[in-house]
Amino acid sequence: MVRFIVIGLSGALIAAGAAVGLNMFSAAQEAAFASPHPAAMIASAASTPAPTMGYGEASIAKSPDGHFWADATVNGRPVHFLVDTGATAVALTAADARNLGIDTASLTYSYTVQTANGTAHAAPVKLSMVSVGRAEVPDVDAFVIDGGLETSLLGMTYLGRLSKFEATRNALVLKS
Protein backbone atom coordinates (compact mmCIF):
# COMPACT_ATOMS: atom_id res chain seq x y z
CA MET A 1 0.00 0.00 0.00
CA VAL A 2 1.29 3.41 -0.88
CA ARG A 3 2.02 5.27 2.39
CA PHE A 4 2.89 8.70 1.05
CA ILE A 5 1.72 11.42 -1.30
CA VAL A 6 4.06 13.23 -3.64
CA ILE A 7 3.14 16.83 -4.22
CA GLY A 8 4.80 18.18 -7.33
CA LEU A 9 4.68 21.09 -9.64
CA SER A 10 1.40 21.00 -11.54
CA GLY A 11 0.81 23.07 -14.65
CA ALA A 12 1.93 26.62 -15.25
CA LEU A 13 2.82 29.07 -12.53
CA ILE A 14 -0.36 30.95 -11.75
CA ALA A 15 0.86 34.26 -10.38
CA ALA A 16 3.97 36.34 -10.85
CA GLY A 17 6.59 34.00 -9.43
CA ALA A 18 4.59 32.77 -6.40
CA ALA A 19 3.17 29.37 -7.39
CA VAL A 20 3.44 26.02 -5.63
CA GLY A 21 1.75 22.87 -6.93
CA LEU A 22 0.28 19.83 -5.31
CA ASN A 23 -0.23 16.48 -6.97
CA MET A 24 -1.62 13.77 -4.73
CA PHE A 25 -1.62 10.17 -5.93
CA SER A 26 -5.09 8.65 -5.77
CA ALA A 27 -4.04 5.55 -3.80
CA ALA A 28 -2.73 7.69 -0.96
CA GLN A 29 -5.70 10.03 -1.31
CA GLU A 30 -8.10 7.08 -1.05
CA ALA A 31 -6.25 5.92 2.05
CA ALA A 32 -6.67 9.35 3.62
CA PHE A 33 -10.10 10.41 2.37
CA ALA A 34 -11.48 7.87 -0.19
CA SER A 35 -11.97 10.67 -2.76
CA PRO A 36 -9.34 10.97 -5.55
CA HIS A 37 -9.10 14.21 -7.55
CA PRO A 38 -6.54 16.02 -9.79
CA ALA A 39 -3.63 18.22 -8.77
CA ALA A 40 -3.52 21.64 -7.10
CA MET A 41 -1.93 25.03 -7.64
CA ILE A 42 -1.26 27.99 -5.41
CA ALA A 43 -0.44 31.67 -5.73
CA SER A 44 -0.57 34.75 -3.63
CA ALA A 45 -2.72 37.75 -4.57
CA ALA A 46 -5.06 40.38 -3.18
CA SER A 47 -8.16 39.25 -1.31
CA THR A 48 -11.61 39.42 -2.85
CA PRO A 49 -14.45 39.16 -0.35
CA ALA A 50 -17.18 36.57 -0.79
CA PRO A 51 -20.51 38.37 -0.59
CA THR A 52 -23.43 36.13 0.20
CA MET A 53 -26.46 35.62 -2.02
CA GLY A 54 -29.44 33.44 -1.08
CA TYR A 55 -29.50 30.80 1.63
CA GLY A 56 -26.61 28.36 1.10
CA GLU A 57 -25.02 30.48 -1.62
CA ALA A 58 -22.01 32.73 -2.06
CA SER A 59 -20.46 34.64 -4.93
CA ILE A 60 -16.74 35.35 -5.17
CA ALA A 61 -15.58 38.09 -7.54
CA LYS A 62 -12.63 37.28 -9.78
CA SER A 63 -9.53 39.11 -8.56
CA PRO A 64 -7.31 41.16 -10.88
CA ASP A 65 -4.85 38.23 -11.05
CA GLY A 66 -7.58 36.10 -12.67
CA HIS A 67 -8.07 33.83 -9.65
CA PHE A 68 -10.76 33.46 -7.04
CA TRP A 69 -9.72 34.28 -3.49
CA ALA A 70 -12.12 33.45 -0.66
CA ASP A 71 -12.23 34.67 2.89
CA ALA A 72 -13.81 31.62 4.49
CA THR A 73 -14.76 30.64 8.00
CA VAL A 74 -13.28 27.36 9.20
CA ASN A 75 -14.43 26.00 12.54
CA GLY A 76 -15.67 29.52 13.33
CA ARG A 77 -12.40 31.29 12.46
CA PRO A 78 -11.34 33.22 9.34
CA VAL A 79 -9.00 31.69 6.73
CA HIS A 80 -7.93 33.28 3.43
CA PHE A 81 -7.96 30.67 0.61
CA LEU A 82 -7.05 30.42 -3.04
CA VAL A 83 -10.04 28.62 -4.57
CA ASP A 84 -8.54 25.79 -6.61
CA THR A 85 -10.79 23.37 -8.48
CA GLY A 86 -7.68 21.35 -9.33
CA ALA A 87 -6.73 20.86 -5.69
CA THR A 88 -7.39 17.34 -4.47
CA ALA A 89 -8.21 18.51 -0.97
CA VAL A 90 -8.38 21.54 1.22
CA ALA A 91 -4.74 22.25 2.10
CA LEU A 92 -3.87 24.41 5.09
CA THR A 93 -0.61 26.15 5.76
CA ALA A 94 0.82 25.31 9.17
CA ALA A 95 0.21 28.92 10.25
CA ASP A 96 -3.47 28.78 9.26
CA ALA A 97 -3.84 25.42 11.02
CA ARG A 98 -2.36 26.89 14.22
CA ASN A 99 -4.71 29.89 13.92
CA LEU A 100 -7.57 27.39 13.80
CA GLY A 101 -6.39 25.91 17.09
CA ILE A 102 -4.89 22.79 15.55
CA ASP A 103 -1.86 21.58 17.49
CA THR A 104 0.42 21.12 14.48
CA ALA A 105 3.17 19.64 16.67
CA SER A 106 0.94 16.71 17.62
CA LEU A 107 -0.16 15.84 14.06
CA THR A 108 1.14 12.79 12.25
CA TYR A 109 2.82 14.03 9.08
CA SER A 110 2.64 10.65 7.38
CA TYR A 111 2.67 11.97 3.82
CA THR A 112 5.83 13.19 2.09
CA VAL A 113 5.22 16.05 -0.29
CA GLN A 114 7.34 17.81 -2.88
CA THR A 115 6.71 21.53 -3.38
CA ALA A 116 8.46 24.17 -5.44
CA ASN A 117 10.23 25.09 -2.20
CA GLY A 118 11.44 21.54 -1.58
CA THR A 119 10.27 18.52 0.38
CA ALA A 120 7.61 18.96 3.05
CA HIS A 121 5.25 16.75 5.00
CA ALA A 122 1.44 16.65 5.21
CA ALA A 123 -0.94 15.49 7.91
CA PRO A 124 -4.62 14.67 7.36
CA VAL A 125 -7.14 16.53 9.53
CA LYS A 126 -10.93 16.88 9.69
CA LEU A 127 -12.47 20.37 9.73
CA SER A 128 -15.86 20.47 11.43
CA MET A 129 -17.25 23.28 9.22
CA VAL A 130 -16.02 25.25 6.22
CA SER A 131 -18.12 28.22 5.06
CA VAL A 132 -17.70 30.71 2.27
CA GLY A 133 -20.52 33.15 2.81
CA ARG A 134 -23.56 30.94 3.31
CA ALA A 135 -22.15 27.99 1.35
CA GLU A 136 -21.42 25.71 4.31
CA VAL A 137 -19.99 22.20 4.27
CA PRO A 138 -19.56 20.13 7.46
CA ASP A 139 -16.85 17.54 8.21
CA VAL A 140 -14.34 18.52 5.51
CA ASP A 141 -11.21 16.41 5.04
CA ALA A 142 -8.03 18.47 4.70
CA PHE A 143 -4.25 18.33 4.89
CA VAL A 144 -1.93 20.49 6.97
CA ILE A 145 1.23 21.10 4.94
CA ASP A 146 4.32 21.58 7.09
CA GLY A 147 6.21 24.14 4.98
CA GLY A 148 6.34 24.86 1.26
CA LEU A 149 2.78 26.20 0.97
CA GLU A 150 2.39 29.99 0.80
CA THR A 151 -1.39 30.17 1.18
CA SER A 152 -4.13 27.72 2.02
CA LEU A 153 -6.06 26.07 -0.84
CA LEU A 154 -9.82 25.59 -0.96
CA GLY A 155 -9.91 22.33 -2.88
CA MET A 156 -12.26 19.57 -3.89
CA THR A 157 -12.92 18.09 -0.44
CA TYR A 158 -14.96 21.29 0.05
CA LEU A 159 -15.94 22.22 -3.52
CA GLY A 160 -16.90 18.66 -4.47
CA ARG A 161 -19.42 18.53 -1.63
CA LEU A 162 -21.30 21.62 -2.77
CA SER A 163 -24.49 21.01 -4.74
CA LYS A 164 -23.10 23.34 -7.41
CA PHE A 165 -20.22 25.66 -8.17
CA GLU A 166 -20.03 27.65 -11.35
CA ALA A 167 -17.34 29.95 -12.73
CA THR A 168 -18.48 32.83 -14.88
CA ARG A 169 -16.41 35.49 -16.57
CA ASN A 170 -16.39 37.65 -13.41
CA ALA A 171 -17.40 35.47 -10.46
CA LEU A 172 -17.47 32.03 -8.89
CA VAL A 173 -20.88 31.03 -7.52
CA LEU A 174 -21.01 28.44 -4.74
CA LYS A 175 -24.18 26.66 -3.61
CA SER A 176 -24.36 24.21 -0.71
Domain boundaries, the chain: 20-175
CA atoms of 65 and 68, how far apart (whole Å): 9
Task: Select the more confidently predicted residue: 143 or 30.
Answer: 143
Residue 128 scores a pLDDT above 50: yes
Task: Select the more confidently predicted residue: 48 or 14.
Answer: 48
Greatest Cα pair distance in the chain:
45
Under a CB-based contact definition with an 8 Å cutoff, are residues 18 and 136 in contact? Answer: no
| Mean per-residue pLDDT, 148-158 | 92
What is the overall mean pLDDT for the chain? 75
- pLDDT for residue 153: 93
Query: In the structure, what pLDDT confidence band is assigned to residue 114 with cuts at 50, 70 and 90?
Result: low
Query: In the structure, what pLDDT confidence band is assigned to residue 55 with cuts at 50, 70 and 90?
Result: confident
Residue 76 scores a pLDDT above 80: yes
Least confident of 52-56, 96-100, 105-109, 158-162: 52-56
Task: Select the more confidently predicted residue: 76 or 4.
Answer: 76
Residue 40 scores a pLDDT above 60: no
Sign of CA dihedral 30, 42, 122, 91: negative
Q: Which CATH class is domain 20-175?
A: mainly beta
- pLDDT for residue 124: 96
CA atoms of 68 and 59, how far apart (whole Å): 10
- pLDDT for residue 168: 93
Residue 24 DSSP SS3: coil
Query: In the structure, what pLDDT confidence band is assigned to residue 117 with cuts at 50, 70 and 90?
Result: low
CA atoms within 13 A on the CB side of 158: 31
Instruction: Report how far apart, in Å, the C-alpha atoms of 80 and of each of 113, 128, 158 are.
Output: 22, 17, 14
| Dihedral angle of Cα 135, 137, 138, 139, to the nearest 10 degrees | -150
The percent of residues above 90 in pLDDT, for the chain, comes to 56
CA atoms of 72 and 159, how far apart (whole Å): 13
Report CA 159 to chain centroid distance, whole Å: 9
Task: Give the pairing type, strands 77-83 and 152-154.
Answer: parallel
- pLDDT for residue 112: 79
Sign of CA dihedral 5, 138, 92, 83: positive
Strongest mean pLDDT among 17-26, 52-61, 136-145: 136-145
| Mean per-residue pLDDT, 127-142 | 97
